[in-house]
Amino acid sequence: MPSSSSPSSALTAHFDVFGYPECDYHVKLQVGSTKMNLILDTGSSNTAVISDHCNSINCTFVQKPYLSVHSEALLNRVSARYGNAKTRASWHGYATGQIVELQQDKSVLARVDVITKSNHFFVPGCPQNQGLWGLAYPELQTRPHHSRYLNRALSSETLIDSARHQLHMPNSFSFQLCPKSSVDPLSSYGLSVISTSDGDLGFDSVSASISEQEDQEKSLTALLLEQEHGHQQLSTAEASSLSTSICSNGNVGHFWLGGYASRFVRSPIIWVPLIHSHYYEVSIDGFFINDQMIEMDDNLNTPRTIVDTGTNDIVLSTENLQRFLRALWKSNVILFDRAFISPEYERAFWLDHAQLTLPTRAVKIDTRTTVSVSLGGQLIYIPLENLVKVHPILENEGQTSSPAWINISWTGLSHGGGTHMAGTILGNTLMRGKTTIWDRGAGRLGFADADPNICCQSSSAKDVDTLLSLNREDGTFSSHLSRYKSIDGGLLPSNSRTIMLGDSSSMSHTASVSPGSQFICVLSMGLIAMACIGGLVHTTWMAWLHFYVKPRKDRLQMDLKTGEQTPAITIDLPPMPFKNVASIKTNHHEQQQQQDEDYEII
């Protein structure tokens, strides 16, 4: 069972989450001596940042600073590709070792890939994003082409796994996105203007022409809204404040390592089992509207369904998306006044993703409608505000009356490209307004509603009061707790010092140690090197004796033994006259002289 404990018994960390749906959500993480904005991505495993060696056009608009890397560190090439049938992105770079500061006085040596070439990886409209923090399992992390001078264990670990192994952090994390009403009050106000929950979805009979109605719109709108919805006029201060998030420091959520903070969770946690794979994979039973299942193709889970913080939308196949939208249309969750909107425009709104500009009284949203998805037998609700985008049109900054016009469209849904694309991605459309708890050690994923009243409040590592998978995959953790002291709700070695990185080279990271320790370390390394050289020389000498000297001695002894054992054979020949021998020699000499005379030297 996953362990729960007090925050003083294990290392935890906290990050504020920034961003918005169109540009994903990021945290500020210090890599080396550079603080960078990294997108939280549970759909990949590489941690990659832009470097000062990136000269691609796609890198020019990314805001600085970039990670400074010495050329000597660019040894181990690595690359990664992202996307689906509709979008493609990739980067090329090098795997390096970097000191990453998770919290003050909490640093880890981990693999960080530095990007030197980008192909649509960075988005022009989102210059604040400087890299990616991959939170998936290590099997998804791309391997360097040649692991020269790179520790093999380090190169195969993800950043979060390095933190677990080096700092004994529990094998879990949690991700919270505040409700849309908390971080986008303008859109929330526009939605409230056209919402109804009392079942009154009728429209007043209007006999005037559309042009006449437009002339009367400003005076009629305030009256109708006050009568039908009880909305009062806005003060100047209220109107100007609609464009500002209630989160004072600009954050839109929280990211905790090691567990979750219970005071930021409003509802009971719904646990969904994870399917064992490289991704955070779940099984979809179906989508529901008003508790009625939407009929979809059988490929909903083929090849997989993943929960991905690096994707904004709920991504379906083209056919399944059309079925989802038709079911929403049929449910009458949004009703249009036929005096303003024809059936053709309504169809374009739902099936062609058209944005409509309408008088506020020409459209109503039934907030009683429920949309949900069943994961592993558990029903997870999707707030309507995550699926409908309403933007009120304010004529001037100091407008005191309710908006007469709005822009409206559906949002948070998309297709992956191609009618035959299989599988489903559950992105931030599902997670906005929730705390999602990723209990990796127990193989489960938790969903709970975020408390909108405290979601924007500041947090820290001390708030993580529920630790999950404390002893998973690390049986030595409990026995080593006495060696650590608590710092800001976490643990560090009692004799440790802050790890500083003078440069970002992957080949030299020096911790602050005493001169005596340095001398002992150098002496030990020298003795080890001498022992290795001596062993190599001895092995070479023994091999030469065994494979060269010994075989020659054996052959010589064999020859001598053979010569001693073989009897001599004597053949007696009759004596040959000396003159005959001389005659043979003379004839041979004459023949050779004749042959020499046959050749002419030119």
State the Cα angle at 17 between 13 and 23, rounded to 5°: 145
Residue 424 clears pLDDT 90, i.e. is over it: yes
Report the residue count for the chain: 602
Q: What is the CATH number of the domain that holds 216?
A: 2.40.70.10
pLDDT of residue 576: 46
Higher pLDDT among residues 14 and 490, named by residue: 14
Q: Are 81 and 90 in contact (CB under 8 A)?
A: yes
pLDDT tens figures, 522-546: 777 888 888 888 888 888 878 877 7
To the nearest whole percent, how much of the chain has pLDDT over 90?
52
Same domain, 371 and 352: yes
Same domain, 107 and 234: no
| C-alpha closest to that of 18 among 207, 301, 245, 220 | 245
* Highest mean predicted confidence (pLDDT) among 173-177, 484-488, 563-567: 173-177
pLDDT tens figures, 355-367: 999 999 999 999 9
Same domain, 143 and 42: yes
Distance of CA 457 to the CA centre of its chain: 26
Sort 541 into a burial class: Cβ within 10 Å, 0-12 / 13-18 / 19+: exposed
Q: Report the number of distinct structural domains present in the chain.
A: 2
Sort 56 into a burial class: Cβ within 10 Å, 0-12 / 13-18 / 19+: middle
Residue whose pair of structure tokens reads 């802050």 in the numeric block: 498
Residue 526 resides in a domain:
no
Give the phi and the psi of residue 71 in degrees, each rounded to 5.
-60, -30
Same domain, 199 and 332: yes
pLDDT of residue 2: 46
pLDDT of residue 461: 94
Higher pLDDT among residues 464 and 581, named by residue: 464
pLDDT of residue 402: 67
| Domain of 399, in residue numbers | 185-244+267-449
* Highest mean predicted confidence (pLDDT) among 181-190, 418-427, 578-587: 181-190
pLDDT of residue 229: 38
Residue 307 resides in a domain:
yes
Same domain, 67 and 124: yes
Same domain, 198 and 130: no
Q: Output the CA–CA distances (angstroms, integers) from residue 21 to 176, 250, 309, 355, 541, in the order listed.
A: 14, 14, 11, 18, 68
Residue 539 resides in a domain:
no
Average pLDDT of the residues in 270-292: 95
Residue 456 resides in a domain:
no
Residue 532 resides in a domain:
no
Residue 423 resides in a domain:
yes
Return the amino acid letter for 524. Answer: S
Q: Are 511 and 209 in contact (CB under 8 A)?
A: no
The rounded radius of gyration (Å) of the Cα atoms in the chain is 38
Same domain, 118 and 192: no
Higher pLDDT among residues 213 and 300, named by residue: 300
Residue 257 clears pLDDT 60, i.e. is over it: yes
Residue 409 clears pLDDT 80, i.e. is over it: yes
Same domain, 322 and 403: yes
Residue 517 clears pLDDT 80, i.e. is over it: no
Average pLDDT of the residues in 100-117: 94
Residue 313 clears pLDDT 70, i.e. is over it: yes
Distance of CA 116 to the CA centre of its chain: 18
Q: Are 250 and 20 in contact (CB under 8 A)?
A: no
Name the 3-class secondary structure at 165: helix
Sort 117 into a burial class: Cβ within 10 Å, 0-12 / 13-18 / 19+: middle
Q: Which residues are CB-contacts of 50 (< 8 A; sequence separation ≥ 6)?
A: 36, 59, 62, 66, 67, 114, 115, 118, 122, 130, 131
User: Quick one: pLDDT band at residue 297, thresholds 50, 70, 90?
Assistant: confident
When the pLDDT of each residue in the chain is averaged and rounded to a whole number, the result is 78
Report the 10 Å Cβ neighbour count for 295. Answer: 11
Same domain, 200 and 315: yes
pLDDT of residue 153: 80
Same domain, 76 and 210: no
Residue 333 clears pLDDT 90, i.e. is over it: yes
224-243 b/e (C-beta count within 10 Å ≥ 16 → b): bbeeebebeebeeeebeebe
pLDDT tens figures, 176-223: 999 998 888 888 888 998 998 766 666 654 333 334 444 434 333 333
Same domain, 351 and 309: yes
Sort 495 into a burial class: Cβ within 10 Å, 0-12 / 13-18 / 19+: exposed
Q: Which two tokens stand for residue 92?
A: 């090329």
pTM (2 d.p.): 0.72
